[in-house]
Structure 1
C-alpha cells in the first residue's frame, strides 16, 4: 500500500502571518496562491499546507500518485483501492468524493483521536 505524498494541512486564521512565520523557520512557498487563500510551503521533503477559510480543523493529507515534490509517480495504490482496503479493516469512511473508475478522487477517515485524514488523489 503506497499512500503517496504526505503533508499536514493547517487551517490558519491569517494566511500572510502564517506564511511569514513558516518562512522564518526555513519554509519556502512551493505552490498555491494567496489570492486563492492557500499556500503549500516546503522545507526539504517536508510539506505544510496553509489554508485560510477552507476547513475548520487541521488535516493529515496523503496524495496517492505524487511524490513529496507533487510529481507523478510510476506506481501507487489508487484511492479507490485504498478505500476498499480501509473499509475491509473496519475503518469508517466519513466523507467520500470518489467518482469514476480512475483518476482524481478523495475520501476522508478519522483516526481514534479525532484527527481527520484526507486521501486526495490528483492523478
Structure 2
C-alpha cells in the first residue's frame, strides 16, 4: 500500500516563533499564510506543517497521490483503497469515504498511543 507524501502537522502556540525556530534548522516556508496561522515548511524531502489554533495535538499526515514536493504522482493507491485495506485489517477508521466517489477526500485513524494519523488526498 503506497501512502504518498509524509509530513508532521504540528499544533503550535506561536506560529512566528515556530517558523523562526524551524528556519534555523534549515526549513523554508513553501505554502500557507502566517497571517492565517498555518505554514507548510520544507527542508529537502522533510515536510512539516505549522498550525496555530487549528487542532489540539500533533498529527502524522500522509497525502496519497503526492510526492514530497506536493506533485501529483502518475499512479498511486487511492485513499478509498487505503481506507478499505485498513478496515479489512481491523483498524477503526473515522468517517467513511463513499467508495463510489473519486478525487479529494480524507479520513483519520488513531494509533494505540492516541496519535492521530490523517490520510488527506488532494487529487
Which range, TM-score by smaller chain?
A: over 0.9
How far apart are 1:98 and its partner, in Å? Answer: 2.7
Q: Give the CA deviation at 1:30.
A: 1.1
Q: Secondary structure at the match of 1:87?
A: helix
Deviation digits for residues 49-91 of structure 1, max 9, x if unmatched?
0001110000000000000000000111111110000000000
Aligned length: 122
Output the CA distance in 1 between the equivalents of 2:57 and 2:86: 22
User: Are residue 101 (structure 1) and residue 101 (structure 2) matched?
Assistant: yes
Is 1:36 the counterpart of 2:36? The answer is yes
**1:50 maps to 2:50:** yes
Q: Structure 1: how far apart are the matches of 2:52 and 2:39?
A: 9
Q: Which residue of the partner structure matches residue 59 of structure 2?
A: 59
TM-score by length of 2: 0.95
Q: TM-score, normalised by structure 1?
A: 0.95
Q: Which runs of 5+ in 1 are unaligned?
A: none
Q: Distance in 1 between matches of 2:60 and 2:110?
A: 10
Is the 8 Å Cα contact of residues 97 and 107 (structure 1) preserved in structure 2? yes
Cα RMSD (Å) of the superposition?
Answer: 1.1
The 5 Å alignment of 1:1-123 reads 1-93=1-93, 95-96=94-95, 98-99=97-98, 101-123=101-123
